[in-house]
Amino acid sequence: FGLPLGTPVRQIVVMQSTFTGPVYVVGDNIDTDQIIPAQFLNLIPTIPDEYEKLGAYALWGLPDSLYTTRFVKEGALDTEYPIVIAGRNFGCGSSREHAPWALCDYGFQAVVSTEIADIFRNNSLKNGLLPIIVDEATHAWLLANSGVEVEIDLTTSSLKLADGRSVTFPIDGFARYCLTNGVDELGFLLSKDAEIKRYEASRRA
């Protein structure tokens, strides 16, 4: 992007350990070009005006005929849906990091499915989004209840449904730490700079 070496592309927001909100339901095979169409990939999140524009185009590639309620309302500064319930293979297609950027920058916090594309899942964890894998029965209930409110507790790795049921989901401890502390892998390493230097000095002695 022509940015000075070492410039962070975007600031990762600290994720609340527990959050609640209505869900936005999408179908199978939602690719990254539907999440953020290619014509918006020139927007750079470190530039304030462009940062504000990027999130406005989250899920802009979904067909209007199938999604009459938009993920981000025209002119809105954030989405009312912090949680996306997705069909199979969400985030397939190109590996563009703009996909999780766009979703996160307008208030998206988690995506729930039975199948999330590996590259999108890894990009999400590195950029402050929580990808959640649930069982088929839970997934089917969520798909059938668009707009219902659910609660996600990152501390206990649990998702609570409106009908009172609660299910757990897998997430490794390092990813949980980064999400709840608002750091990526590089930020974590930089926080250990003094310890790394002490270790290196001890090896040279």
Q: What is the pLDDT of residues 173-199, one digit of tens each?
A: 999 998 888 888 878 888 888 898 888
Which pLDDT score, from 0 to 100, does residue 2 have? 43
Query: What size, in residues, is the chain?
Result: 205
Could you tell me the pLDDT band of residue 1, with boundaries at 50, 70 and 90? very low
Q: Average model confidence (pLDDT) for the chain? A: 87
Count of beta carbons in the 10 Å neighbourhood of residue 153: 16
- Convert the chain into a string of H (helix), E (strand) and C (coil): CCCCCCCCCCCCCCCCCEEEEEEEECCCCCEHHHHCCHHHCCCCCCCHHHHHHHHHCCCCCCCCCCCCCCCCCCCCCCCCCCEEECCCCECECCCCCHHHHHHHHCCCCEEEECCECHHHHHHHHHCCCEEEECCHHHHHHHHCCCCCEEEEECCCCEEECCCCCEEECCCCHHHHHHHHHCCCHHHHHHHCHHHHHHHHHHHHC
Distance CA 147, CA 143 (A): 10
- 153-178: pLDDT as tens digits: 999 999 999 888 999 999 999 999 98
Record the pTM.
0.85
- 52-85: pLDDT as tens digits: 678 888 999 999 999 988 898 887 878 899 999 9
